[in-house]
Chain A
Amino acid sequence: GNSVTQMEGPVTLSEEAFLTINCTYTATGYPSLFWYVQYPGEGLQLLLKATKADDKGSNKGFEATYRKETTSFHLEKGSVQVSDSAVYFCALSGNTGNQFYFGTGTSLTVIP
């Protein structure tokens, strides 16, 4: 079946540090992959997505590359800011339709 495994948190980084949040998936066929961000007290917001192998999604300095050979979609940012503090969710959509599968979320805190 489909599933997403995401690196455990919480993660605490200093401002301007490099961020990597690991995400691996199990899926049949060719899923689409997503990163969502949830700021405190808010709903989820789409951060970036990739719909086929080798696609790179990017937004607000965050990047993730759809790696079919390693079934991964790791989130990276070169220099984090305090405003990036949030919970990040990796997700996939199965190729049979609109069922979505989310990872457990990784809480990121960036300290000045």
Chain B
Amino acid sequence: DSGVTQTPKHLITATGQRVTLRCSPRSGDLSVYWYQQSLDQGLQFLIQYYNGEERAKGNILERFSAQQFPDLHSELNLSSLELGDSALYFCASSRSYRGYQDTQYFGPGTRLTVL
């Protein structure tokens, strides 16, 4: 158990809909990272937040947005969903903003299925 929690575990929805994925980092960690893992794209870094502010951006679509709240939990919002958005979404956390030096601890993931 990494200490990172993600809800829900599974999510099934229809094209065009909007969903929110939630992540709670390990106690004491200030950075949260979001990743997408799909069969055709592999594992892709989406975005990082540190202490409430966006810190780094990867291959995140404009239809996707994220935020980190004062209690440090984070939410990833996916809108106008397409079939291709079906994937496993991971959240990770680390102590500081230096993800390249700190160890990132991954949550168990949320499996999104878009029908």
Contact = CB atoms under 8 A, between A and B. Distances in A.
A98 B55 contact: yes
A89 B100 contact: no
Contact of A98 (B35, B98, B107, B109): B98
B101 A101 contact: no
Size band of the B side of the interface? 20 to 34
A97 B100 CA distance: 8
Given A98-B55, A101-B45, A93 B107 contact: no
Given A43-B109, A46-B103, A102 B90 contact: no
A32 B101 contact: yes
Contact of B42 (A45, A49, A97, A104): A104
B24 to A, nearest CB: 14
B83 interface: no
Interface string B62-97: 000000000000000000000000000010100001
Contacts, number: 60
A31 B57 CA distance: 17
B90 A44 contact: yes
Contact of B108 (A42, A46, A93): A42
Interface residues of A, number: 23
B43 interface: yes
A94 B2 CA distance: 25
B56 interface: yes
A38 B29 CA distance: 21
B58 interface: yes
A42 B111 CA distance: 12
A100 B99 CA distance: 9
Given A43-B90, A43-B109, A98 B100 contact: yes
Nearest to A33: B100
B44 A99 contact: no
A102 B58 contact: no
Given A43-B4, A93-B100, A105-B42, A99 B106 contact: no
Interface of A: 31-32, 41-46, 49, 51, 89, 93-95, 97-105
